[in-house]
Amino acid sequence: MNPSMDSRITRWVKDHTGELLSWAYHRTSDLKTAEDLVQETFLAAVERLDSFRSDSHPKTWLFSILNNKIADHHRRGMRHRTVPLDDDGPSAFFDEQGHWRPNAAPGAWSDDDGHLLDDENFRAAFLDCLKKLPGPWHDCLTMRFLKDITPGTICQELGISATNYWQIVHRAKLSMRRCLQKEWFDTE
């Protein structure tokens, strides 16, 4: 790489790393993953520097590369999908007629102490349960309910069908409910 290219990349790293990292963290909810994706973005930029047309802003080009890296990350997660060991799918919750199994029916949750999300211990239990979800389940719930991303955008970003998305969300909610029941409500 010639010196002018080297100084250009150095300037881009200095000028845009913070925003790229913030965006990657927002989309992945994991700092290490976000850092890796930003690093991969700059490596890809160096490899493809000759294809960069100066008629666009470097920040736009870098964000384009990063968004592709994020989409690839989510697609890899979907391909390596795992199911929690304690979850047999819907049959763990429902019988053949679609009724709740006796020990699987959710208990009544009360909020006598105010708003649960104001409780630091509940938030810790919630985040712990969220971390236990398999990658795709975690990604779908986080993107939809914590980041308010539309289902269509999530399907596109994760490379999944709408039917698959709704099935993942349904199973993830059931798994979260079971985990919160065990980790929070049954311990009170």
In a domain, 82, yes or no: no
Say if 81 falls within a structural domain: no
Q: Exposed, middle or buried by CB within 10 Å (0-12, 13-18, 19+), for 9? A: middle
Among 45, 75, 105, the domain-final residue is: 75
144-178 burial code (b ≥16 CB/10 A, e <16): beeeeeeeeebbebbebeeebbeebbebbebbbbb
- Same structural domain, 67 and 123: no
DSSP 8-state code for residue 33: H
CATH number for the domain that contains residue 128: 1.10.10.10
Q: Are residues 71 and 95 in the same domain?
A: no
**84 assigned to some structural domain:** no
How many domains in the chain?
A: 2
pLDDT along the chain (188 residues), means of 10: 69 91 84 91 87 81 88 71 48 66 63 67 87 85 88 87 89 88 72
pLDDT of residue 94: 66
Q: Give the pLDDT confidence score for residue 183 in this predicted structure.
A: 79
Same domain, 15 and 61: yes
Q: In 10 A of CB 74, how many CB atoms?
A: 21
Count of all residues that appear for the chain in the document? 188
pTM for this model (two decimals): 0.49
Whether 127 and 55 map to the same domain: the answer is no
Phi, then psi, of 95 in degrees rounded to 5: -85, -175
CATH of the domain at 12: 1.10.1740.10
Domain final residue pick, 41, 75, 109: 75
User: Quick one: 131 and 180 in the same domain?
Assistant: yes
